[in-house]
Structure 1
């Protein structure tokens, strides 16, 4: 079932927290809403769930306008970051809760609970209480409860934020597996973690300051971001202020060859190039600067190089002899690996 935001605006006491959102999640698609705190992503999710009422616009599930429907009549499964399990109920009763509320026959409840627990790998824990489970196991129970009602739409609100890095990685794999097993379920996934979005989503909607900034596949947003904010939030990026020339751009005294289609000579712009696409030594689009910091990251070294007063980061395969702090070095990048954006934020801090 599709999810459609038709110019949805939400405001609290006159403060707009979601501004005229137009967005469609296709049937069976995983759409990630990605953005910093306060960007409007959770508000958008709550508008679909029915927990907030838009000041204007419509929310549609399939062809049905659900804007004025209460949450329990929308047929949606939802998982939140706090899990919201009932501590006094056993796992099987937590999973059965939504089915009982819908007055599902007892035999059907037993069957669906067993099916949902099996699907999430929690069948062996049916008789336990939430306090007897780890955080990752509690999250699986919350997901099983959402799946037991067989929703056409599944809403996930920062579902992994309370887990440590190892558990988060494992749950990402489990969510990907569940989606493969339930390809007809549309999923709207709210996160501030770009790796979760890149790993799970068919498309990513990037939110900031209550507005949609960009929407596309992870590959599209990573390789050809629409603006500086998207470039900085979807993957790491060097974002450097340049002046456009007839053949490319100028950064300090370096003349760079770039695709400048649509940009006027003399205009200010932002050069976007990913750190792993910056090489050490001679090559096209050379930049010379001073090493300010070196970080060893196991398989790679990250160099921070001061070029014309701006920091250029280079992620390089582990170097046998890394440059010294304060050393003058040359880095380079291929013209096809850079994107020229409208003038925006500097990438020095990212």
Structure 2
């Protein structure tokens, strides 16, 4: 049976401090939802409310059709993977994976088959008799995932599961998680991370959290290409956020008229123009901006240019330049009208 997660106005308070503020959000059956945000944004608290490790001060949590708000964790049908693996060092790999099944008093005769299935699914079948200390960090995390999958959960919760791994291992584990999800299409995943690459790579939708509140929610493409708030634009990807004044057929930025869609914004209103750095080109073109280079960063395949335009810093990611331009050189940047998104000035919450 497929299952999903529903937060209905879930609030968590510790004394006078609100750490999760009236969260209303639905994770569909089989969907991967990433909770993305900085430290202290409320994302881990939301996950722990689903797990049953924190009790909401208000609101309800549902898994499928069940209201699980008052149920203990072991009755919720969830698997959970945390940042530091939480493996028992004195137990072999197969014993660690069997732990959840035994704790739930699963029929003893079925346990070895479930363990073998979960280990094969995570590529750890050959390591069943080893102890955690004999495994790499990536292998330990695979065991932790196998342990969560062995109980065949309706919902899989992952709390910063890759943050303790180096960049190369993270990339490999992301691919493994994507593969696992394809093999388990009915399991809903709630994935907590502060890493935008993980969220963009893995999630069907991303819920952007900040200051205990849900700020935005949409597909990775929607949030990247058409963010609704300045916070989303700056946290999902990288963005130029330029203060502008709306005109009849575009905007004014630092004394330069730019042709961009204004979507009915009132002429004269203050707004923020969002343009991704990789969509800013070097040289003449539409929406040309003249400025002086204040900083250059080499990033392998690209150079990032920081250009002072009328006292504002504009970022442009351009293909690797054969000759690095000197600081102070005057250059022209440009971007296409359709690559800009107009945001209401100061709108930073959902």
Q: TM-score, normalised by structure 1?
A: 0.97
Q: Which residue of 2 aligns with 1:40?
A: 42
**SS class of match (1:222):** helix
Q: Does 1:224 align with 2:236?
A: no
Q: Which residue of 2 aligns with 1:168?
A: 170
1:83-125 deviation digits (Å, cap 9, x = unpaired):
1100110000000000011111222100000000000011111
Q: Which residue of 1 aligns with 2:147?
A: 145
Q: Count how many residue pairs are aligned between Structure 1 and Structure 2.
A: 346
Q: Which residue of 2 aligns with 1:326?
A: 328
Distance 1:341 1:159 in 2: 33
Q: Which residue of 2 aligns with 1:120?
A: 122
Q: Which runs of 4+ in 1 moved over 6 A?
A: none
Stretch moving more, 315-324 or 159-168:
315-324
**2:229·2:347 contact (CA, 8 Å) conserved in 1?**
no
1:55-87 deviation digits (Å, cap 9, x = unpaired):
100000111100000111101000000111001
Distance 1:296 1:101 in 2: 53
**1:239·1:345 contact (CA, 8 Å) conserved in 2?**
no
- The aligned runs of 1:130-209 (5 Å cut-off) are 130-209=132-211
Distance 2:347 2:60 in 1: 33
Distance 2:225 2:28 in 1: 23
**SS class of match (1:31):** strand
Q: Which residue of 1 aligns with 2:21?
A: 19
Please report how far the alpha carbon of residue 345 of structure 1 lies from its aligned counterpart in structure 2 after TM superposition. 8.5
Distance 2:57 2:347 in 1: 31
For the aligned residue pairs, the C-alpha RMSD in angstroms reads: 1.1
1:133-167 deviation digits (Å, cap 9, x = unpaired):
11100000000000000001000000000000010
Stretch moving more, 60-69 or 320-329:
320-329
- Aligned to 1:307, which of 306, 309, 312? 309
Distance 1:305 1:144 in 2: 49
Segments of structure 2 that go 5 or more residues without pairing to the other structure are: none
Please report how far the alpha carbon of residue 296 of structure 1 lies from its aligned counterpart in structure 2 after TM superposition. 1.4
Q: Which residue of 1 aligns with 2:287?
A: 285
**SS class of match (1:272):** strand
Distance 2:238 2:255 in 1: 25
Q: Which residue of 1 aligns with 2:84?
A: 82
**1:91·1:141 contact (CA, 8 Å) conserved in 2?**
yes
Distance 1:345 1:99 in 2: 48
**2:98·2:111 contact (CA, 8 Å) conserved in 1?**
yes
Distance 1:141 1:305 in 2: 48
Distance 2:144 2:189 in 1: 15
Please report how far the alpha carbon of residue 262 of structure 1 lies from its aligned counterpart in structure 2 after TM superposition. 2.8
Distance 1:173 1:2 in 2: 23
Q: Which residue of 2 aligns with 1:343?
A: 345
**SS class of match (2:241):** strand
Segments of structure 1 that go 5 or more residues without pairing to the other structure are: none
- Aligned to 2:108, which of 101, 106, 109? 106
Please report how far the alpha carbon of residue 25 of structure 1 lies from its aligned counterpart in structure 2 after TM superposition. 0.2
**1:58·1:67 contact (CA, 8 Å) conserved in 2?**
yes
Distance 2:148 2:313 in 1: 46
1:172-226 deviation digits (Å, cap 9, x = unpaired):
0000000011011000000000000000000000000011000000000000001
Please report how far the alpha carbon of residue 261 of structure 1 lies from its aligned counterpart in structure 2 after TM superposition. 1.5
Distance 1:189 1:48 in 2: 12
Please report how far the alpha carbon of residue 295 of structure 1 lies from its aligned counterpart in structure 2 after TM superposition. 1.2
Stretch moving more, 300-309 or 27-36:
300-309
- Aligned to 2:93, which of 57, 81, 91? 91
Distance 1:216 1:241 in 2: 25
**2:250·2:259 contact (CA, 8 Å) conserved in 1?**
yes
Q: Which residue of 2 aligns with 1:57?
A: 59
